[in-house]
Amino acid sequence: MTVVTMTVVARTLTRVVNGSLLLLLALGLSVSTATAQEVEVRAYLDRNEVGVDAQFTLNVEVSGAGGADEDPRLPDLSGFAVYLGVGTRTSMQFVNGRTSTSLTYQYRFRAVEEGTHEIGPVRVRAGGEDHATDSLMIRVRPAGSAPGRRAPDRSRDGVDIGPEDLFVEASASTREPWANEPVLVEYRLFTRVDVESYSITRAPGTTGFWVEEVALPRTPRVEQVVRGGVQYATIVVRRAVLFPTGAGRRTIEPLALDAQVRVRSSRFFSDPLGFGDPFGGGLFGRSVAVPVESEAIDIEARPLPAAGRPDDFSGLVGSLDVTASLDAGAAATNEALTFRLAVRGAGNLRMLPDPEVAFPPDFDVYPPEVSDDVDAGSSGVSGVRSYEYVLVPRAPGLHVIPAVELAYFDAAGGRYAIAATDPATVEVTGEVATGDPILFGSGRVQFEAARQDIRFIRVATSAFVPIDRQLFRTGAFWTVVLVPLFGLAGALALRRHRGLLEGNVAYARRRRASRLARSRLAQARGLRAPEQHQAFVAGISQALLGFLGDSLNVAEAGLVRDDIRRELGARGVAGDVVERYLACLEKCDQQRFAPPASGDDDSGTPALLEEAEQAMTALGEELRS
């Protein structure tokens, strides 16, 4: 039994070794085959029929080369389509012992003209030669006759992502608001496939609405929900508050976005020896751009009732509270006072007209300074609008500023209401003023004009120079004498510095650490667009690790958090400086893999850049001390 067992084991090992050799030989042959593979260029559409305002993708595939020598030259499609953007994808396959690689340029367009249109040849220079693709035909149907969501290309590489796998859903807080009543609209992305990132390609039109965007967090909150017995991951991609500017039917147009979906190749590796797929198909997966869009939302805005409408109705629908105050209860004639009026509430406060205040006729009133502190959130738009008036009383006596009233429509109760302040009184003393007002004290206006009326005459005498002064007592003499000495000392120091740079690697790396870090941060500063967020964060992370590696004279790839703490602690660096530096690195690692937020808001970008600069400055000072 022992001999038989050993024989079987030996045969099995021999078969495995032979199979491995054949596998390596097949891989070697495939690489050589790929090297000799001819360059092929072709163009194809993701679909041949689209509706007006729907998107389509023109794909230009370059096979057998590392890519095109220059960007492909597209024909003119402006007669029936609008260019949206371009992306690329790279795929590599092992089929029957051969390796095939291809680079695909994906040009996204939006159809705008009905009819059947011809897309001329795409010209590409690859492999040192000029290539031209065949012409393509596309039919653009009337709006609404084509499906809103894109059907993915199922004929290539086995990609099958249906509308039930990835879609965008739009929801409104109400479908029948009053005119000028806030409507919270939320767009959610639902997916059960691996979405790496997304970008909004077309925002809904705002015709007939006043729009307030609601800021979203840089790192979206991912929620797990079950719909129709299927579990989805969902995030909010856009949130906005819309105010219908009038009564009647209005349509909130669809929102379109491109989602980068990670897919696995259906045929990645041929297996002539029967060992199965050793990589599981995930190592060489690729990203596919899948455009999706939401459905339109119809809004029926109701007109505000005419019954009970106040004559001075401000047009605001929501809630209001008005307060007023004077900075002093007593003043002298010609002395400035400040009257403050604050309008707090919820609704379209930015479009609120200025209130009418009946100031006493004996007061000079200056135009108000208006400031807004209004924010849009998940509960709507709310805040405060402040008015600040400068008043100058011109006659003595007890003066009363009557109550300020603002009418608004309470949407919850369906009725009109009035917000009013309390009257404000001020006791003015002195005599009736006849001259110009004196603006001082608590008033905002200062009399600067008087300072510009008179130019003072210079009365100081000029400096005298003695005739018999000696040369060695002049600054020019010592400048001529000392400059060559300082120049010689500087040359010697520079020569010593260059010698250390050439002979001492650690010294050279420490000296160049700050310069290289500033250069890397400057490169990252140029990548602040939302679509360059990951490259921006990667640049900051590289600058932080490079500065640390150069300062400690260690390899950047070998830096581990615990080793960094131990090494910096041994050099006497304060613990809070070390933890601040590591926290900045941790934040870069978190944001590198977070999807970008919508819109062109980059509020978090300067903060991260400033935090990295401060962390490197503090660490550099600790290492030099």
Strands 313-317 vs 405-410: parallel, antiparallel or unpaired: parallel
Same domain, 269 and 220: yes
Residues contacting residue 336 through CB under 8 Å, at least 6 positions apart: 390, 391, 392, 437, 438, 439, 440, 441, 442, 443, 444, 445
Asked if the model's pLDDT at residue 401 lies above 70, the reply is yes
Same domain, 1 and 58: no
Residue 100 pairs in a beta bridge with 93
Same domain, 283 and 163: yes
Q: How far is CA 461 from CA 97, 111, 379, 454, 458, in A?
A: 98, 80, 71, 21, 9
pLDDT value for 462: 65
Asked if the model's pLDDT at residue 447 lies above 80, the reply is no
pLDDT value for 277: 39
CB of 237 within 8 A of CB of 598? Answer: yes
415-431, pLDDT tens digit by residue?
999 999 999 999 999 88
What distance in Å separates the CA atoms of residue 97 and residue 457, rounded to the nearest whole number? Answer: 96
What distance in Å separates the CA atoms of residue 158 and residue 284, rounded to the nearest whole number? Answer: 15
Mean pLDDT, to the nearest integer, of 85-104? 68
Same domain, 161 and 282: yes
> How many other C-beta atoms lie within 10 A of the C-beta of residue 458?
7
Mean pLDDT, to the nearest integer, of 345-358? 88
139-152, pLDDT tens digit by residue?
998 875 544 444 43
User: For residue 331, what is the enclosing H or E element?
Assistant: strand 330-332
Does a structural domain hold residue 461? Answer: no
> How many other C-beta atoms lie within 10 A of the C-beta of residue 461?
6
Q: In 70-98, which positions are buried (b, 16+ CB within 10 angstroms) versus exposed (e)?
A: eebebbebeebbeebeebebebebbeeeb
CB of 434 within 8 A of CB of 395? Answer: no
Indicate the pLDDT class of residue 23, thresholds 50, 70 and 90: very low
178-222, pLDDT tens digit by residue?
999 999 999 999 999 989 888 888 888 778 898 888 888 888 889
Residue 422 tokens, joined: 């309390």
Does a structural domain hold residue 395? Answer: yes
What distance in Å separates the CA atoms of residue 621 and residue 625, rounded to the nearest whole number? Answer: 6
pLDDT value for 389: 94
State the DSSP code for 551. Answer: H
Same domain, 253 and 269: yes
Does a structural domain hold residue 489? Answer: no
Highest mean pLDDT: which range of 26-35, 46-55, 115-124, 278-287: 115-124
CATH number, domain of 163, equals: 2.60.40
pLDDT value for 282: 45
Residue 366 tokens, joined: 């200056």
CATH number, domain of 60, equals: 2.60.40.740
Long-range residue pairs from 564-571, CB within 8 A, at least 24 positions apart, any chain: 568/619, 568/622, 571/623
109-141, pLDDT tens digit by residue?
888 999 999 999 999 988 888 899 999 999 998
Same domain, 50 and 140: yes
Asked if the model's pLDDT at residue 577 lies above 50, the reply is yes
Asked if the model's pLDDT at residue 271 lies above 50, the reply is no
Q: What is the pTM of this model?
A: 0.47
Indicate the pLDDT class of residue 240, thresholds 50, 70 and 90: very high
DSSP helix/strand/coil, 110:
strand
pLDDT value for 567: 80
Closest CA to 198 of 220, 165, 226, 215: 220
**Boundaries of domain holding 565:** 496-624
Domain boundary, last residue among 114, 146, 178: 146
Same domain, 93 and 184: no
Question: Position 598: which residue type?
Answer: S
pLDDT value for 330: 92
> How many other C-beta atoms lie within 10 A of the C-beta of residue 22?
12
Q: What is the 3-state secondary structure (H, E, C) of 356-381?
A: CCCCCCCEEECCCEEEEEEEEECCEE
CB of 299 within 8 A of CB of 183? Answer: yes
How many angstroms separate the first and last alpha carbons of the chain? 76
Query: Where is pLDDT greater, at 248 or 64?
Result: 248
Does a structural domain hold residue 611? Answer: yes
Does a structural domain hold residue 557? Answer: yes
State the DSSP code for 108. Answer: E
Q: Name the maximum alpha-carbon separation found in the chain.
A: 128
Q: Report the mean per-residue pLDDT for the chain.
A: 77
284-333, pLDDT tens digit by residue?
567 788 889 999 899 999 999 999 899 888 889 999 999 999 998 899 99
Read off φ and ψ for residue 609, nearest 5 degrees.
Answer: -65, -45
Asked if the model's pLDDT at residue 446 lies above 90, the reply is no
Flag the least confident range among 197-201, 266-270, 554-558, 572-576. Answer: 266-270
Does a structural domain hold residue 195? Answer: yes
Same domain, 43 and 31: no
Mean pLDDT, to the nearest integer, of 164-168? 90
CB of 210 within 8 A of CB of 185? Answer: no
State the DSSP code for 438. Answer: B
Does a structural domain hold residue 270? Answer: yes
355-374, pLDDT tens digit by residue?
889 999 989 999 999 998 88
What distance in Å separates the CA atoms of residue 123 and residue 74, rounded to the nearest whole number? Answer: 7
491-534, pLDDT tens digit by residue?
888 877 676 655 555 565 666 667 777 777 777 777 767 777 77
Domain boundary, last residue among 251, 271, 304: 304
What distance in Å separates the CA atoms of residue 597 and residue 382, rounded to the nearest whole number? Answer: 23
User: For residue 170, what is the enclosing H or E element?
Assistant: strand 166-172
Classify residue 156 by burial, with Cβ atoms within 10 Å: 0-12, 13-18, 19+: middle
Asked if the model's pLDDT at residue 81 lies above 80, the reply is yes
CB of 280 within 8 A of CB of 376? Answer: no
Query: Where is pLDDT greater, at 572 or 242?
Result: 242
User: For residue 391, what is the enclosing H or E element?
Assistant: strand 380-393
- Chain centre distance of CA 409: 37
Same domain, 297 and 219: yes
Same domain, 87 and 47: yes
Same domain, 182 and 93: no
Number of domains in the chain: 5
What distance in Å separates the CA atoms of residue 529 and residue 275, rounded to the nearest whole number? Answer: 47
Does a structural domain hold residue 592? Answer: yes
Query: Where is pLDDT greater, at 456 or 221?
Result: 221
What distance in Å separates the CA atoms of residue 253 and residue 171, rounded to the nearest whole number? Answer: 12
Mean pLDDT, to the nearest integer, of 569-597? 78
Same domain, 24 and 43: no
Asked if the model's pLDDT at residue 341 lies above 60, the reply is yes
Mean pLDDT, to the nearest integer, of 32-36? 41
Query: Where is pLDDT greater, at 233 or 55?
Result: 233
